[in-house]
A and B are shown apart, each in its own frame.
Chain A
Amino acid sequence: MNEFVVLLSTGAALFSIGLYGVMIRRNAVLILMSIELMLNAVNINLITFQRYLYPGTSIGEVLIIFVITIAAAEVGLAMAIVLRVFRNWGTINVDKISEMKN
Chain B
Amino acid sequence: MYSVLVGMSAAIVLISALGVVSTKNIVHAAIYLLITLLGVSVIFLLEFAEFLALVQILVYAGAITIVLLFAVMLTRDIDQKDMENNSNRAWMALITFGIFIVFTLSIWYQNWSITEIIYDAPNSFRLLATALFSEFLVPFEIASLVLLVALIGAVVLTKEGRDGA
Contact = CB atoms under 8 A, between A and B. Distances in A.
Contacts, number: 236
Contact of B100 (A4, A16, A52, A66): A16
A71 B136 contact: no
Given A13-B14, A29-B75, A75-B68, 17 more contacts: A1-B114, A15-B103, A27-B82, A30-B26, A32-B71, A36-B60, A40-B37, A47-B49, A52-B112, A52-B117, A57-B131, A58-B131, A72-B64, A75-B64, A76-B150, A77-B150, A93-B82
A73 interface: yes
B59 to A, nearest CB: 6
Interface of B: 2-3, 6-7, 10, 13-14, 17-18, 20-21, 26, 29-30, 33, 36-37, 40, 43-44, 47-49, 51-52, 55-56, 59-60, 63-64, 67-68, 70-72, 74-75, 77, 81-86, 89, 92-93, 95-97, 99-100, 103-104, 107-108, 112-118, 121, 124, 127-128, 130-132, 135-136, 139, 143, 146-147, 149-151, 153-155, 157-158, 165
Interface residues of A, number: 73
A100 interface: no
A47 B6 CA distance: 13
B66 to A, nearest CB: 10
B77 A91 contact: yes
A17 B17 contact: yes
A59 B132 CA distance: 9
